[in-house]
């Protein structure tokens, strides 16, 4: 039996449609959500991500500003721009595309963004809020995975959830979101012993490793839900995930790459920006 492919592209279009509808209502009250996107240097992958974020802003009816800064921008200059955007009434959310050039501290950039405008949810205040379970913004990739699970009526409650990867942007927040939904969560990483055995316990297995074809069928329980967060390039230069295609025959549900978790990420950024615009004006729903 082949797994149901969880269609992130279709869900993404649906969610963007509902964001646009909400934006139209807000605009009627004189409020336009605004996103500022900053990119420093000329990383080609980052440029594609930024372009896609600008396109998504148009689709959702948002106002947007893009700041493409040269590689030699100093940390002081970048923090100065962020300070200005923190004060700008047109801007609800601020995003600085990572990675930034090595002479700039990533953490200093994250710390400089007003937590109320931190739509990536990387600021320590928002990380702490996720930990305690009282948050406005959810990191975009894990948030997208949770929406996909909900769409396909997969409830983590009481299930064995195994997350491979413990990064601050994917693995850790992913684990917390599954825990908040009452999953029994195990976080694996490069020092985990008997990884395959731990993974075989999973009812829901999330791979966020960054290695093409890393998860093989012997690591997957029959009927498990397999979420592939990885975005890699194989030997032929084709985009692929962390999960071997043969896992499709063992899983009950699986996210394809491309077209699964990936498209949801930017959509969740839009959702956070809409939320920011509302929260900043005291609108709760
Ligand atoms: P990181 O490199 O920051 O983290 C990778 C994690 O995988 C680490 O925790 C690492 O363990 C773990 N790992 C590496 N090798 C092994 C191994 N042999 N066994 C077990 N664990 C291992 O990556 P990210 O979290 O940033 O990204 C993960 C993947 O997701 C990438 O492919 C990235 O491109 C993709 N991604 C996709 C997004 C999307 O929009 N869908 C957004 C963000 C990322 P340790 O901590 O011990 O080193």
Full DSSP string of the chain? -PPEE--HHHHHHHHHHHHHHHHHHHHHTT---EEEEEEES--HHHHHHHHHHHHHHHHTT-EEEEEEE-TT--HHHHHHHHHHHHH-TT-SEEEEPSPPPTTS-HHHHHHHS-GGGBTT--SHHHHHHHHHT--S---HHHHHHHHHHHHTT---TT-EEEEE---TTTHHHHHHHHHHTT-EEEEE-TT-TTHHHHHHT-SEEEE-S--TT-B-GGGS-TT-EEEE---EE-TTS-EE-SB-GGGGGT-SEE--TTTSHHHHHHHHHHHHHHHHHHHHTT---
**120 annotated active-site:** yes
Cα 269 to Cα 252: distance, rounded to the nearest angstrom:
28
Q: For residue 91, how far is its CA from the centre of ligand 1 (angstroms)?
A: 31
Cα four-point dihedral sign 77, 82, 87, 89: positive
Q: What is the mean pLDDT of the chain?
A: 97
> 167 CA distance to ligand 1 centroid (A)?
6
Q: How far is CA 87 from the centre of its chain?
A: 25
Q: Closest Cα to residue 272, out of 157, 113, 155?
A: 113
Residues 6+ apart with CB under 8 A from 55: none
Pocket of ligand 1 (CB under 6 A): 141, 164-167, 169-171, 188-192, 195, 208-210, 229-232, 261-262, 265
pLDDT in tens, 39-97: 999 999 999 999 999 999 999 999 999 999 999 999 999 999 999 999 999 999 999 99
**Which of 76, 60, 58 has its CA nearest to residue 20?**
60
Which residue, judged by its Cα, is nearest atom 4 of ligand 1? Answer: 167
| Residue owning tokens 């600008």 | 54
pTM, rounded to two decimals: 0.97
Is 53 catalytic? The answer is yes
Question: How far is Cα 266 from Cα 13, in angstroms, rounded to an integer?
Answer: 11
Indicate which residue's Cα is closest to atom 3 of ligand 1: 167
In sequence order, the 6+-apart residues with CB closer than 8 A to the CB of 193 are none
Q: How many CA atoms lie within 13 A of 247 on its CB side?
A: 31
Tens digit of pLDDT at every position of the chain (285 positions): 799 999 999 999 999 999 999 999 999 999 999 999 999 999 999 999 999 999 999 999 999 999 999 999 999 999 999 999 999 999 999 999 999 999 999 999 999 999 999 999 999 999 999 999 999 999 999 999 999 999 999 999 999 999 999 999 999 999 999 999 999 999 999 999 999 999 999 999 999 999 999 999 999 999 999 999 999 998 889 999 999 999 999 999 999 999 999 999 999 999 999 999 999 999 976
**Best of 167, 214, 233 for a ligand 1 pocket test (most atoms within 8 Å of beta carbon):** 167
Question: How far apart, in whole angstroms, are the C-alpha atoms of residue 150 and residue 165?
Answer: 22
Q: How far apart are CA 133 and CA 177, in angstroms?
A: 8
- Crossing angle, helix 8-28 and helix 140-151, to 10 degrees? 110
Token representation of residue 64: 């947007």
Is 262 within 8 Å of 141 (Cβ atoms)? no
Please choose, from the candidates 226, 166, 265, 176, the residue with its C-alpha nearest in 3D space to the C-alpha of residue 6: 226
CA distance 4 to 153: 13
10, HSE (Cβ side, Cα atoms, 13 Å): 8
Report how far apart the first and last C-alpha atoms of the chain are (Å, whole number).
Answer: 42
Residue among 114, 118, 120, 244 flagged as catalytic? 120
Q: Whose CA is nearest to atom 1 of ligand 1?
A: 167
């Amino acid at each position: 039996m082949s797994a149901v492919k969880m269609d992130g592209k279709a869900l993404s279009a649906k969610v963007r449609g509902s964001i646009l509808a909400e934006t139209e209502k807000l605009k009627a009250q004189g409020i336009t959500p605004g996103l500022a996107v900053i990119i420093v240097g000329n990383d080609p992958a980052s440029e594609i991500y930024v372009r896609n974020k600008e396109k998504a802003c148009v689709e959702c009816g948002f106002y947007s500003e893009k700041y493409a800064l040269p590689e030699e921008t100093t940390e002081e200059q970048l923090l100065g721009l962020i300070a200005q955007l923190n004060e700008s009434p047109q801007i609800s959310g601020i995003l600085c595309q990572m990675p930034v050039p090595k002479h700039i501290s990533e953490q200093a950039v994250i710390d400089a963004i007003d937590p109320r405008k931190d739509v990536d949810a990387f600021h320590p205040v928002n990380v702490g809020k996720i930990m305690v379970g009282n948050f406005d913004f959810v990191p975009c990739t894990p948030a997208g995975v949770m929406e996909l699970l909900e769409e396909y009526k997969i409830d983590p409650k009481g299930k064995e959830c195994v997350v491979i990867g413990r990064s601050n942007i994917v693995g850790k927040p992913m684990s917390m979101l599954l825990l908040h939904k009452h999953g029994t969560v195990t976080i694996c990483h490069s020092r985990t012993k008997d990884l395959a055995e731990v993974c075989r316990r999973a009812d829901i297995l999330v791979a966020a490793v960054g290695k093409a074809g890393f998860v093989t069928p012997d690591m997957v329980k029959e009927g498990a839900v397999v979420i592939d967060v990885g975005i890699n390039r194989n030997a032929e230069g084709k985009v692929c995930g962390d999960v071997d295609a043969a896992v499709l025959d063992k899983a009950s549900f699986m996210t394809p790459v491309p077209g699964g978790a990936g498209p949801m990420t930017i959509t969740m950024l839009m959702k956070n920006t809409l939320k920011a615009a509302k929260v900043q004006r005291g609108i709760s729903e």
